[in-house]
Amino acid sequence: MAAAPGSPPLTPSPSAPARESLLRRLRRRLVTIPLVFAATTLLTVLLPLLLLGTGLVDLLRRRLVLTRGLLFFTGFLLFESVAICGITLLWVIHLLYRNRDWFERANRTAQTLFTTGLYRMGERLLSLQTHCEGTLPPTGPNAPPLLVFIRHCSTADTVLPVVLLAPLGYRLRYVLKRELLLDPCLDIVGLRLRNYFVARGGKETEEDLRGVLDLASDLSHRDALVIYPEGTRFSPSKRRHILERLQKHGPPDSYQLAASLQHTLPPLLRGPLTLLRQNPGADLLLIGHVGLDAAGSLAALLRGDLFGQTVRIFTEHIPFAQLPTDPSEQRALLGQKWQQLDAFVGRFRR
């Protein structure tokens, strides 16, 4: 989530795309925020009629797929609209009292409430069940900072680190793709807090790498930096494309790793390995999951592939003292752990 249109950043915009002007940000929000309110109003007004239509279709299919999907989408827009009003109120209060610590805590609380509330609503409306296994980091005021490497298969998995770590008292920082700024709440709160939005497709690589490293440079107790090492969402076609590219141009060990992974993409080496190499003392937390894959495709959602799923989450906490310092060993560790996550996904997919 994230400033009311035109609100001043708390710091010299550490989370914003580096060359984004305030005017460009304002223009974006003048489109996306009214669009959310208009869609919420229209959908709420038409909801009884739409429910009648989806109910008739669902009767023929004998599954309440479209009806539940409509209710979830309506709930999401209502969450978004209420959140925009709430975080705008936080900005107004901040203008009056100028308490930066309070403003950061309030926005972080808003982020947690929005994210966990949305996930819990999805659990109920879509009949999801969530099961976790593995090891989690310690809690308490002196809990170590974290580098969080998580599997990426859909937009829905961006909520999992908050659901898992916010109750443990961790303050999350995300590395996210720039397109997510089209979500007003993520745009506003995301740019108020310490996050970094990268360009997709390898654009501005040097600039984005500096931004990510800056995000990791001042990690302290209970800070967690979340990054998606695969760089993009998994799909069979993306896997085939990566295999073809690595077979022609990549080093043999990279191709061998990619070929061994059936349900995940090979982790990008530059960003994650640079974070490990320049790690100031953070533990590593790996997160694998299965069950949210259908949330990455509109066609899969309309088919009802997400309904009734069991979302299984695997976590592995590795203390800083156990992390290798040699670059080749760090690369081997990343490949080995990704093979373990891939095996976890494969076990429950079968």
DSSP characters for 4-70? -TTPPPSSS-SSS-TT--HHHHHHHHHHHHHHHHHHHHHHHHHHHHHHHHHHHHHHHHTS-HHHHHH
- Region 300-325 average pLDDT: 90
pLDDT-derived band at 269, boundaries 50, 70, 90? confident
Between 1 and 91, where is the model more confident? Answer: 91
Q: What's residue 202's pLDDT?
A: 53
Best-predicted range by mean pLDDT (66-70, 104-108, 252-256, 267-271): 104-108
Question: Which backbone phi and psi does 176 adopt, to 5 degrees?
Answer: -130, 160
Q: Give percent of the chain with pLDDT exceeding 90.
A: 71
Q: Is the pLDDT of residue 144 over 80?
A: yes
Record the pTM.
0.89
Q: What's residue 4's pLDDT?
A: 35
Q: Is the pLDDT of residue 203 over 60?
A: no
Contact 287, 165 (CB under 8 A): no
Q: What's residue 181's pLDDT?
A: 94
- Region 308-330 average pLDDT: 95
Q: Is the pLDDT of residue 124 over 90?
A: yes
